[in-house]
Amino acid sequence: MSATKSMTDVAYDYMSKKKRAVSFEKLWQEVSKVTGISNEHIAQFYSDLSLDGRFVSLKDNKWDLRNHRKFAESQIDISEIEVEEDSGEVYDDDGNIIEEPEENY
């Protein structure tokens, strides 16, 4: 790997020049070519890309720079996320209930 640039820095430079979304496959080809790293690092690159706030994942496994996108395109609408309420039950490692919730009357 390049001594001066991380995989995500190389990806950032590449995408800054492209000015449009790029498929993950194309992005990986460019990053691996520039850095000289093998395909065994592809999972690490995907993780790094996902965690780096400069990038945003789009439909069809395409990626873009967050600053190329409107706010609404790069944010998740949390109102659509369903959250289960906590039942108050406590389970052991085998999934058996070991503590029932207290009933409040």
- CATH topology (fold) of 7-68: Arc Repressor Mutant, subunit A (1.10.10)
Map out the domains of the chain as residue ranges.
7-68
- pLDDT range class, residue 103, cuts 50, 70, 90: low
Calculate helix-pair angle for 42-51, 24-35, nearest 10 degrees.
Answer: 110
Query: What Cα–Cα distance (Å) separates residue 40 from each residue in 2, 7, 23, 52, 71?
Result: 16, 13, 19, 20, 34
Position 71 scores a pLDDT of 58
| Arithmetic mean of pLDDT, 60-73 | 78
